[in-house]
Amino acid sequence: MSLNLFNELSGVLDKSQVFEPHASSPYLHDSTESRGMKGKADLIVLPGTLEEVQKVVAYAYDHDLPMTLRGGGTGYAGGAVPEGGLVICLEKMNKVCSVDPLQWRLQVEAGVSTRRVQTVCRENGLLYPPDPGAAEQSQIGGNLATNAGGPHTFKYGSTGKWVTGVEAVTGWGEKVSFGGGFRKDVAGLDLGSLLVGSEGTLGVITRVHLRAMPALEKRYPVVGWYKSLREGCEALDYVRASGIQPAVLEYLDEGCIKWTQLSGAMEGSQFMLLTEADGTGEEAWAGRGILIEAVSEGALRVDAPLEEVAIADLWRWREGVGLGLAARWGGKSSEDIVVPLDRVEEAIRRIPEIGLKYGLEACSFGHAGDGNLHATFLLDFNDPDALASSQEAAEELFAMAIEMEGSVSGEHGIGKVKNGQLQHQWNPASVRLAQEVKKTFDPKGLFNPGKKLA
Ligand SMILES: Cc1cc2nc3c(=O)[nH]c(=O)nc-3n(C[C@H](O)[C@H](O)[C@H](O)COP(=O)(O)OP(=O)(O)OC[C@H]3O[C@@H](n4cnc5c(N)ncnc54)[C@H](O)[C@@H]3O)c2cc1C
């Protein structure tokens, strides 16, 4: 880093908001660190206001400096891993600007954590349904930029569904803003939705208008354990045919059940289904009965806890699956492919076969109702051969998703990890159009260069 750059940028912002990263700085990696991914940057910049973001972007544009945009750094695609230039981190833009319980809406700066959005809503009698797994650390700007989902996406949709307006800073430091605190808007082109899932390639998201809904009275989970994948997938069909919309429809395959060794799992079962009925007390109770009936078809055992503590334990257990799998060999690489619902069973069967071909234990879990499968290869990250094999296995996995007319990513995005995969999934004209859109937002190609659309 040149001293000049530091001096000039500390003239644009306060000196305390600009610093040079040390070798082990957390700003140089995200959750792909466990795959050995680490970046480099000249300076870390922490703007605290829209105007400061504009100044930094304008400076970067004038000096041709690449910018890596960073929220909470929990991403699994390497999107926040820099390759030189500036890291613009939104952590200081963390104000909840307004909450209107009667209008079911709130307005927040991009650096507010997902958990805070959920909590503020709850405190105001509202529910903000998106529930990505790293809510304490992830920020709403990062959620928007990855269109993050979670188990309840099955009923309530991903982050983008809850956004009614977005403000951002694009090339040359220009502020743009689409939508707002109102619920319908067809006045212009839907440009705000281009920022949803943009992974920091179009500009810096600075402020978001979110909608919420009245808090639910009750949630009842229902869990089925099956002796084989076949029985488990039949139960999935029974749930879908049951006539109600469950809030979640999650699964664990045989490998997950076996290797996580989490207490409470049914020994000898090869498939687990987790579903949930929600709504008013009456609706949720009626839904619970219907789901128990559907899940019971062919099940070895059905668990339907009623106590709040037991329900919380069940969700904690579900959240521990990723860690439990990583503990087996010290690491894992977990992808997030999507397949059409009628190919879910075939995909779940083929994932361990792909792993086997590359000498890796592999399993899957995730959002069966959305066909969004966390295909997971278990490995020791200190073993370079295993790491290389997991990359080859992932390539084959993505090819499978495309062959099945699905997607290479349903949650984590493309980032750096899957760069180039979009070109396999989309035809050249579609990719070109996306690249032209990028050029319009970012004429010099300085926002997250080399990622997603490169
Ligand atoms: C334990 C764990 C569980 C997870 N579970 C889920 C899950 O259930 N569902 C899911 O979808 N994901 C999940 N993730 C992945 C991750 O949490 C989400 O992708 C999250 O939305 C990333 O938010 P972040 O603020 O950490 O973003 P970062 O990791 O900082 O960045 C992610 C991407 O967004 C861009 N970005 C960040 N902030 C901005 C901004 N203000 N403006 C423009 N671009 C920006 C970055 O450049 C990068 O490309 C999980 C991760 C972990 C570690």
**pLDDT category, 227, cuts 50, 70, 90?**
very high
| Residue 133 in contact with ligand 1 by CB distance below 6 A | yes
- In this prediction, what percent of the chain has a pLDDT beyond 90? 87
For ligand 1, is residue 411 a contact (CB within 6 Å)? yes
Of residues 2 and 104, more confidence is placed in 104
- Specify the ligand 1 atom closest to the Cα of 412: 19
433-440, Cβ contacts within 8 angstroms, sequence gap of 24 or more: 437/194, 437/202, 438/201, 438/202
Report d(CA 304, CA 295) in Å as an integer: 10
1, pLDDT greater than 60:
no
Nearest atom of ligand 1 to the alpha carbon of 74? 26
Per-residue pLDDT at 2: 61
Residue nearest to ligand 1 atom 27, measured at CA: 142
User: Is the pLDDT confidence value at 3 over 70?
Assistant: no
Q: What is the pLDDT of residue 152?
A: 97
Q: Is the CB of 71 under 6 A from ligand 1?
A: yes
How far is residue 141's CA from residue 129's CA, in Å, rounded to a whole number? 16
What is the token pair recorded at 44?
């870390």
pLDDT digits (tens, 9 = 90+) for 53-81: 999 999 999 999 999 999 999 999 999 99
Atom of ligand 1 nearest to the CA of 30: 29
Q: How far is ligand 1, taken at its centre, from the CA of residue 157, in Å?
A: 16
pLDDT beyond 80 at 36: no
Report the C-alpha gap between 258 and 270 in whole angstroms. Answer: 8
Pocket flag, ligand 1, residue 142 (CB < 6 Å): yes
Tens digit of each residue's pLDDT (9 = 90 or more) over 311-347:
999 998 888 898 899 899 988 999 999 999 999 999 9
Q: Which residues pair with 378 in a beta bridge?
A: 332, 361
Q: Encode 189-219: b = buried (16+ Cβ within 10 Å), e = exposed.
A: eebbebbbbbbbbbbbbbbbbbbbeeeeeeb
Tell me if 366 CB under 6 Å of ligand 1.
Answer: no
Instruction: For residue 84, give every residue at least 6 positions away whose Cβ sits within 8 Å of its Cβ, in sequence order, or none.
Output: 40, 41, 42, 66
Atom of ligand 1 nearest to the CA of 75: 29
Q: Whole-angstrom Cα distance, residue 338 to residue 354?
A: 16
Residue nearest atom 1 of ligand 1, based on CA coordinates: 134
> What tens digit of pLDDT does each residue of 175-213 get?
999 999 999 999 999 999 999 999 999 999 999 999 999
Which residues, 6 or more positions from 29, have their beta carbon under 8 angstroms from its beta carbon? 37, 38, 39, 73, 81
pLDDT tens digits along 372-402: 999 999 999 889 999 999 999 999 999 999 9
Is the confidence at residue 34, as pLDDT, over 80? no
75 C-alpha vs ligand 1 centroid, how far in Å?
4
pLDDT at residue 206, as a whole number: 98
**What distance in Å separates the CA atoms of residue 336 and residue 87, rounded to the nearest whole number?**
26
- Spatial distance between the Cα atoms of 54 and 203, rounded to a whole number of angstroms: 10
Please state the rounded mean pLDDT for residues 91-106: 98
Q: Are 51 and 63 in contact (CB under 8 A)?
A: no
Distance 105 CA to ligand 1 centre (A): 22
